[in-house]
Every structure is written in structure tokens, then in C-alpha cells.
Chain A
Amino acid sequence: MSVTATKSRYQSAEFADRLRRRYAAERRFRLAGMAAVGIASLMLVVLLGSIVGKGYTAFWQTQIRLEVTFDKAQVEEGNTMPLLRQALYAVVPEVTDRAGRRSLNELLSSGAPYQLEAMVKANPALVGTKQTVWVLADDEVDQFMKGFIRRDVPESERRLNDIKIGALDKLAAAGAVKSAFNTTLFTAGDSREPEQAGIWGAIVGSFLTLTVTMLLSVPIGVAAAVYLEEFAPKNRWTDLIEVNINNLAAVPSIIFGLLGLAVFLGFFGMPRSAPLVGGLVMALMTLPVIIIASRVALKAVPPSIREAALGVGASPLQTVAHHVLPLAMPGILTGTIIGMARALGETAPLLMIGMVAFIVDIPHGLTDSATALPVQIYMWADSPERAFTERTSAAILVLLAFLILMNGLAVFLRKKFERRW
């Protein structure tokens, strides 16, 4: 009797209806989930697409071919710009007036003479001879060749006047204008002239900063985590410390910058704009992240391993050093790399301690003035020149590449060394 009753309840039309509604709810939920993922992916594609679309042109740079006579007197005087100009005037002999020639002068990068000087330095035999040289074009020429400055607008509204365009057309017709890979971008420091500006100075600055950060925050962070997790008694004080560490991880980074400004620069009188100070500030910022990640990793090591080691007579320190820490290492590494990646992308605290300065030289030490990659991006984004727009995007691409590399490394290490019980 009761069996029949149960059977009929689960076979009734009402139950079938309820079942259908359950499945419908599940389908709706899955659709919503897929839509969410789809929107997120679309946003990512749009973001990356816009950056790549704006930035890829920066990896190429226009160069102009000139037949330069290395005049002995001029070269020894260190005054090679006139040599380049003479070569350029020879290509466009019809322009003879001062205004016209000044326009022609502006076709060449102001850094072009350094190129000649470097050539002579490398090979002194060049002096007195006539050579074919590819020199950097001015950034506006570059933008024109890339199509960002249109020739169909009236001359008065155009960045390049008719004389320049005429000369460029003539050069182009002779095959004397080419687009080459922009090595300057990866080898030079910052510059007021976009065609001479590069991110190498910022990369070195970032590297020095991160080195300081890592050397400080990893040992201190891991040691703190090991002590708190394995040795410290659980009482009100350690609870207080834990709460504070968690709070520190959520403190806005600019506050750390202010702290660095007040303590490291103000109180200790450390140099401004130095990677040393940047690294110290970043280390303070990264410490809570590393401590939290390390504690989670240590907590994940099963207690049976600790008991096993203690059971054969290992001291508590041996237990941690020989067994617990090696097993927690993949997690600690992952946390550390993600913390470092965050520090690499951090800008705000560096602004506070003066790493936002315009620095042309490549830093050679921890106390040299330097800037960092994200700060470089920030500064270029602020520059009015059209050529800096594409360089900003290019620098973002380089930064993204580093971040993806670091996160990829974290995933790889976790997969490789992860152990399961």
C-alpha cells in the first residue's frame, strides 16, 4: 500500500512539472555562467586588442638613408649634424631657402649625430670617406610614414609641411626610407624625443627594485610565516599579529609609499628616486602577501608528516627544515611570485618616493636614480607627442609579457612540485 502511494507520488504530473522546473533552473544558471565567462573574455579581448592595436607599430621605426661624407674637421670637432644636413640637402637640391632647409633639418632625429659618432668610434678609418648610413627619422616623420599624420588635411593643420612631405616622397621613391625593427625601444633610457626613447632604463630600474624586494621580503616573510605557524603559541598576541598582517595586505599601496617617503627618505635620509628605497617600500608591501601565502602553504602540510618526523626523534627545527618547509615550498613559491608580479606592476608607492622622475641614464646601482616600468608607462601616457601614445602601449605590452611570464612560472612550479596525499 505504502509502496504504491510513494510510487504514485513520484510519478504524478505535479512531480514531473517540478522536475522540469528544476532542470530549467539549472539550465538558466549554466547559461548565466557561460554568459559571464563570455563577457569577461570579450572584455579581455577588447582590452588586449586595443593595446596591441595601438602598440604594435611602436616596434618599428622609420629610418632614412643618407650618403654622408665623414669630414675630418667636423668629426674631430664633434659637430656631425651639419654632415647629415648636407647629405640631406643634396637629395633635395631644389630647396634652398632658410625656412625650407630648417624644415628639412627637422626630418632627422636630433639623436642622429650620435649614431655617426658611434660609427667613427667603432671604426676610425671612416674619417674622410663617404658612407651610406641609415639614420633615425624624426618621430613626426615616423608617424607620417605609419599613416597617423594624414596628407589630405590642409597644410596649416598638418604637423608636417609640404616641403617635408615633398622631400620624404622623393626619398621614398629612391628607396631611401625604410621601416626597421625599433631596437632603440629596448636598449635606450627615457628621452624627450620619442624616437630616441626606450624602456631599458625602466626595465633595469624595475629589476633592481624587485631584486631588493625579493631579497628582503622572501626570507623575512617565510621566516615569519614559519615562526607564526609552527612555533608561536596560539594566544591573544599572535591573534593580534595575524589580524594585523591580514589588514596590512589590504592597505592601499600609496600608503606604503607615504610611509617610505616619511621613514626612508625623511628619517633615514636615503637617496630620492633610488631602486633601494623603491625595493624597501615594495618589500613592506609584499611581506603580508608572502606571509599569508606561506602560512596557507604550511597549514596544508598534513600534521602526520610532522608527527612522523618528531616520532623518529627530529627536533622541531629539523622537522620544519627537513620536511614541512620543503613540502610547503611550491605554495610558498607561488605566493612569492604572485607577490612579486604585483610589486612589478605597482606604481603608486614609487610616485611617492620620487621614482617618477625623468631619467635618461640607465641605472647602474641601487642608489642611482631610476624609474620603473609601470611608472615609465604612466609618464609616457602623459606625454603629448603622438609617437609616445604607441610607445605607451608597447611598454604596456612588455610589462604584460613580464607579468604573464611570472604568473606562468608560478603555475608551472606549482604543477611541477605539487604533492598530493
Chain B
Amino acid sequence: MSVQTQYPTASVPPRAETQVRAGGPGVKMVARDVKVYYGAKQALKGIDLDIQENRVMALIGPSGCGKSTFLRCLNRMNDTIENCRVEGLIALDGEDVYGRTIDAVQLRARVGMVFQKPNPFPKSIYDNIAYGPRIHGIATHRDEMDEIVQTSLERAGLWNEVKDRLREPGTGLSGGQQQRLCIARAIAVSPEVILMDEPCSALDPIATAHIEELIDELRENYTIVIVTHNMQQAARVSQKTAFFHLGEMVECDDTEEIFTNPRDERTQGYITGRYG
């Protein structure tokens, strides 16, 4: 069952209307005819995609196909890029994220992000986790904050490794630990969606396996969108996979379907390794 056929692009509501029809039961985020321009260059040529709640959605495709660009639209990280223009509609729980009712800062608290290169703040492990809750006023007492830090680190599977050195700098951890620290930092603010931009590309296979396990566990509580170059990884961690090519979303289906029975020959070509 293709997602596109269910929600034709013709039914995109006008921009001014911030309340958007929810994309059906269990759909967390909706993208309709999303076009992104970097100056005169068009990076995305009308993407339609539904992201389902408590599922892992993998975005795959060759370099420069626009999957990272699309991911960064979901929490408006593209706002910081000069000359970047986003058209179309992206909705979170039926609300237009580029509309008036959602602020970019508020959106990023609800849609967290983990980046390609581990980027802990050059502060202590504790402060790395506590920073988000602190600026959002989530914890009022020290005890509460300690608890948030502990649960976040536990969920990220890092607690046992760092519980005795919370005051040491986060930059002193190994690459894999740093990336889990970044995941813990993202979940500390209790987001609804977590975006991951090639979170394992800078890590060794063991650290990668660790993170993949973690992603699978996090699915219970969060909706996850992950960009990856590694097709085995997409197959392992995701339930849905979308294949991007040259700024277009070629195909989106259940991961199993995509990898065993792709309908588009471009998808097949990419999966079988003919290009990419």
C-alpha cells in the first residue's frame, strides 16, 4: 500500500490554515509537496511523506539526493541556512510547523535531533544532558534534574559507563559514547520525534550495533526518522523506508517490501548496489 496514493498532493490545504487534517490514525508527521531551494538551486522537488508514530522511518538514497535536507525541514534546522527556502506543508500532529502557532524553538523541543558527527557541548556529561531541561524549565529542583539526567542516560544505555564521572567533560568520551550522549541529550527534553542524521557514520561497527539496539528500544516511546547510507542498517532498524533520488521521493513502503520487492527500478538499482 503506497502512502502517496492515499494522500494525493492536490488536497494540500492553503498555507494560512495552520490546522491541517491529521494524516490518519497513528501518523505523527505529514509532509505534503515539500520543495526546498538553496538560492536558485532546487534541492527537494515536492516530497509527500507520512511518518508514523512509534515507528522508525529510514530515509535512504545516494549522496546529494536531499534526504538530509528533508530531515532538517522536519524541525526547521534549515532556518539557520542562508538562502534556504522551504515550500509546501509539514505538519506535526496536524499543525503546520512553518505556521504561526508553532515557534521554531518550541518545535525543536518537540522534534529532537541527533547529528552525523557526535557534537557534545564541551561541558560536563551532566551539563550536556541538563542543558535542554534547564532552558525549557522542565526541572525546578536539583533532585528532579538529577533524575532526568539519570533516566536519559539510562535510556541511551550510557548510565553504567559514566555514572561515576558525570562531572567530566563529555568531549572526553569515545566516539560511540559521545553519540549516545547526544541521544541522551536529545531525549532529556522529552521530544515526541527524534531525527537522526546518519548517526553511525562516524562510528566503528561495535558502537554502531550499540546505537542500533538503542534505536530499536527508543521506538517504544518516540517516533524516529533516521537518515542512513548503510542499507543493512536501514533494514535492521526501520519499519518504514523511503528511497530518495535527485530530490524526489521515489518510493516509500514497509522496509521489508522495499528491500525484497522494490517497485521502482531506481530503488532496485540502488539497493542492489548498481549506483549510490
Does any Cβ of B come within 8 Å of A308's Cβ? Answer: yes
Residue of B106, B115, B120, B122 near A307 (CB, 8 A) is B115
Q: By the criterion CB–CB under 8 Å, are A308 and B182 in contact?
A: yes
Q: By the criterion CB–CB under 8 Å, are A311 and B112 in contact?
A: yes
Stretch at the interface among B131-139, B223-231, B235-243: B131-139
- Total number of A-B contacts with CB less than 8 angstroms? 64
Residue of A234, A302, A307, A318 near B82 (CB, 8 A) is A234
Contacts of B252 in A (CB 8 A): none
Residue of B80, B82, B109, B122 near A313 (CB, 8 A) is B109
CB within 8 Å of A: which of B137-172? Answer: 171
Q: By the criterion CB–CB under 8 Å, are A312 and B119 in contact?
A: no
Does any Cβ of A come within 8 Å of B245's Cβ? Answer: no
Task: Given A313-B108, A314-B105, verify A308-B121 contact (CB < 8 Å).
Answer: yes
Q: By the criterion CB–CB under 8 Å, are A312 and B112 in contact?
A: yes
CB within 8 Å of B: which of A316-368? Answer: 318, 322-323, 327
Contacts of B132 in A (CB 8 A): 312-314
Task: Given A312-B189, A318-B135, verify A307-B105 contact (CB < 8 Å).
Answer: no
Does any Cβ of A come within 8 Å of B113's Cβ? Answer: yes
Does any Cβ of A come within 8 Å of B267's Cβ? Answer: no
CB distance from B78 to the nearest CB of A (A): 11
Q: By the criterion CB–CB under 8 Å, are B77 and A311 in contact?
A: yes
Give the distance in Å from the alpha carbon of A308 to the alpha carbon of B122 in the complex. 11
Q: Specify which of A313, A318, A322, A419 lies most central, judged by the most chain B CB atoms within 10 Å of its CB.
A: A313
Q: By the criterion CB–CB under 8 Å, are B105 and A313 in contact?
A: yes
A-contact bits for B64-91, CB 8 A (1 contact / 0 none): 0000000000010100101000000000
Q: By the criterion CB–CB under 8 Å, are B82 and A233 in contact?
A: yes
Give the distance in Å from the alpha carbon of A234 to the alpha carbon of B75 in the complex. 23
* Chain B residue with the shortest CB-CB distance to A313: B109
25 A/B residue pairs, CB under 8 Å, sorted by A: A305-B121, A307-B77, A307-B115, A307-B119, A308-B119, A308-B120, A308-B182, A308-B185, A309-B131, A310-B77, A311-B77, A311-B112, A311-B113, A311-B115, A311-B186, A312-B108, A312-B112, A312-B135, A313-B105, A313-B109, A313-B132, A313-B135, A314-B132, A323-B121, A419-B122
Interchain residue pairs A-B with the least CB separation, the first 9: A313-B109, A312-B132, A304-B119, A311-B113, A313-B108, A308-B119, A315-B105, A419-B122, A313-B105
